[in-house]
Every structure is written in structure tokens, then in C-alpha cells.
Amino acid sequence: MNARLATFASALLFTLPALGQSALTGTWQGFSEIRGQKIPVTLEIKQQANGVSGAFLSGPERWEATSGTAENGHLLLNFDYFARQLDATVTGDDLTGTYGNAKSKSPLSLHRGAAAKPAAVKAPDIHGDWEIAVGKSPKGESAWNLKVDQSPALVKAAILRIDGDTGGLYGNYDAENKQFVLTHFTAAGPAIFAFKPQEDGTLLVINPLRDGQQWTARRPAEARKENLAPPTGTTEQTKWKDPATPLTFSFPDLNGKTVSSTDAQFKNKVVLVAIGGSWCPNCHDEAPLLASLYKKFHAKGLEIINLDFEQDDEQIKNPTRVKAFIKRYGVTYPVLLAGTTDQLNEKITGADNLNCWPTSFFVDREGKVREIHAGFSGPATGKAHEELVQETTALVEKLLSEKSKTLSASK
């Protein structure tokens, strides 16, 4: 299986001879070989007199570097919002190096050249919605959603777990091995999945980067006929134990000032408490919506507070990635350094089954937790993302429309 996937991944990449640029400017394409899998990589570089910039391209997605340097054939591109770096040597039209952080690095081997358009491929029709039966996931789910868009030249998919989605996966059909191979390489890192149609109408879903893990995907109607549990709903994962008990917090912001739920700024306000971390790709997907909601509704009584949990103490002591996250998404609401991820349930004690990144708590003007949303369906999920944005906006508007009983009684 691994050898076949590697062979087909190679076929996904199309390059023409380099254009003869002497500077670094151009589109660089090649692979990152991880656990025997060749994952296509596209990197755009622009070199000008005032410096060098770059971006990973994945389908229509663009992941910009925050800064870069190039000197004597040594290229560095920093992606501070994920605390990762591209470190490469460039010789003519060839680039070799790594991408990642101190704990994990992916090798890169790229060549500069103009990309040819992928040829149309005759393939089985797998577009639409699927459910992947996973037995029992670490989050307690029985199934995930799989959404597929398909054209003759490109297949796009995203797998939706309760805590979020895989991001966009792009590729096409491998006619020789009768399977779809979809990948991405973004600032968040690499991914590769194979979807193999079966004679009974199901899909075999394979994750080569996780020791070839396999699951079976069915159309939702077929899953119900087999009495299989559906994917867990966004509001079904995490529950508030006691409706009469308020959600409380008290943590320092990035300047060291303690911000607490009892502060005057939150009194008689609708408060959206967002649990997340700068390491979490789905939290990155969520941030633009939170920033938009805050801009639109803050003057009408909405407060948003981000309780940030990092994977290690270093980002708590020196939150460089958190600061880059804030800058990238134009976050103007308070971000508090709540602790490390293993402290989540120790710091937030009123929730049952709180285990997803991100998780958002919607608190009404009376201080009661009215709804909890686990995970986030990002832009790669298409309609699911659009529906989530609409539902979240409607919920905020509903809570804002409710008058505070405490405020009314004091008048």
C-alpha cells in the first residue's frame, strides 16, 4: 500500500523546466517524504531588494510566511503563528531542507518550475456526504463526517471530527490502484489519505501516516439502515454539569494583568468563552469568526474571552506563537494564558466531557451557560462551515436580544 501511494503521489505533481530566474522568485514544487509517503509540496517565493517572502499553496489555500531571509543560498522562512520554520539550501533551481520545529521536521526536496494543469481523470463518483465508522475515537465518537467535492481535474475532501476537520485535502483518482489519493502540505503540516471505493458502495478510508489505519465510510442513509450511530453533534459532546453554576475564570493576559469573570466588563453582558490554543489548527480556523463577531456585536453587549491552553510551558512563559496568532487574525478581544493542555479540566471544572480543541461556551446576561459548541468546521468543509457561521451568529443575536433580569430589576 505505501509503495503504491508514494507512486501515485508522485504522479500528482506536474512541473515544466525552470524559467531560469537567478533570484529565488518563482513557484517551487516537489515532495516531503514522510514515513515512506511522498506528499506533494508547492511553495511560492518572492525575492525583492527589501527581502524575501514565501507561502505554501494547497489547492486554493495560501499560507503566508511571517518573515524570511535569504543569504548565500540559505533560505529561512518563519511561520510564527505555528512556531515553525522552513530551513533550506538553494542551489540553482533546486531547494532542499526541512520544515517544522525542534521536535518534528519534515524533509523537503523542491524544484523551481511552472506548474502544468492536472489532466482530467475518469473516476468513480464519490462526491457528497459520507460517514466514517470509527468504533470509538479517543474523544468518544462513533463516526466522523466526510465531505467530498469532485470534478474531472480535482477532488477535494475534508474529514470532520468532533474537535474539527482535517483541513482541505486535494488530489485525484489513481486508476491503476483504483483509489483516490488526497493530500495537503500547509503551514500546519502534512496530511495524506486514500479513499478506495468498494463493490458494496462503501469507501475504505486509509491514513498512511498513522500506520495505515483503515475505516469504512458509508452514505448516511446506509449507515442508518445498519443501525450505526451518527457523528456526534456539535452541541452534544460537552455538557455543563449544573445550569445554576456560572462559568468562572481568572487568568493573566499577555501583559500579566489578571482578568476575571467577576470583572465589571462582563456584568450583564453576553460572554463567549473560547477554549483554544495557538498550536491548534482548528482554533486558527475559528479565530476569524470570533474576530468578526466581536467587531460586529461588541458595542451591542458581546464580550469574547479566549482562554489559551498551550502544549508546553515555554509558550506560557514566552508566548511568541500566541502573539503571532493574535496578529495574524486581528484579534482585539482579551486572550488569557490559562495553562497547559493537560490542565484543561483542572482549570475549567464545571464541564462534563470537555476534551475538544476548540470548545466555545455561550453565556447569557445572567451568567448562565446556555450552549456549548465543541470543535469547529473550518472553511475547507464548505457548506458545513457556512451553516456553523450562520448558527453561531444567530445564537449570539438571540442571547443579545434577551434583557438582563438583574439590570431590569435595578431600574
Instruction: Classify strands 239-240 and 302-310 as parallel, antiparallel or unpaired.
Output: unpaired
pLDDT of residue 15: 36
Which residue from 242, 234, 166, 157 is spatially nearest to 195, judged by alpha carbons? 157
Chain-centre distance for alpha carbon 240:
25
Would you tell me how many other CB atoms lie within 10 Å of the CB of residue 178? Answer: 12
- Which residue in the block uniquely carries the three cell numbers 502540505? 185
SS3 101: coil
Taking each continuous run of H as one helix and of E as one strand, the counts in the chain are 8, 27
pLDDT of residue 121: 79
Dihedral-angle region of residue 187 (phi above 0 means left; psi in -120 to 50 means alpha; beta otherwise): alpha
Distances from the Cα of 131 to the Cα of 168, 183, 327, 355, angstroms: 17, 19, 36, 22
pLDDT of residue 5: 53
Architecture, CATH, for domain 239-410 = 3-Layer(aba) Sandwich (3.40)
pTM higher than 0.85 for the full model? yes
User: Domain 2-112 has what CATH class?
Assistant: mainly beta
CA angle 402, 407, 409 (to 5 degrees): 110
Cα separation, 159 vs 182, in Å, equals 11
Cα separation, 152 vs 39, in Å, equals 21
SS3 198: coil
pLDDT of residue 16: 34
Evaluate the omega torsion of the peptide bond into residue 358 and state whether it is cis, within 30 degrees of 0: yes
Fold match, 2-112 / 239-410:
no
Architecture, CATH, for domain 128-225 = Beta Barrel (2.40)
What is the block-wise mean pLDDT of the chain (411 residues), using blocks of 10 residues? Answer: 49 38 85 95 92 94 96 96 97 97 95 77 94 94 97 94 96 95 97 98 96 95 97 97 96 97 97 98 98 98 98 93 97 98 96 97 97 97 96 98 68 47
Domain boundaries, the chain: 2-112, 128-225, 239-410
Q: Are 40 and 31 in contact (CB under 8 A)?
A: yes
Q: Are 213 and 2 in contact (CB under 8 A)?
A: no
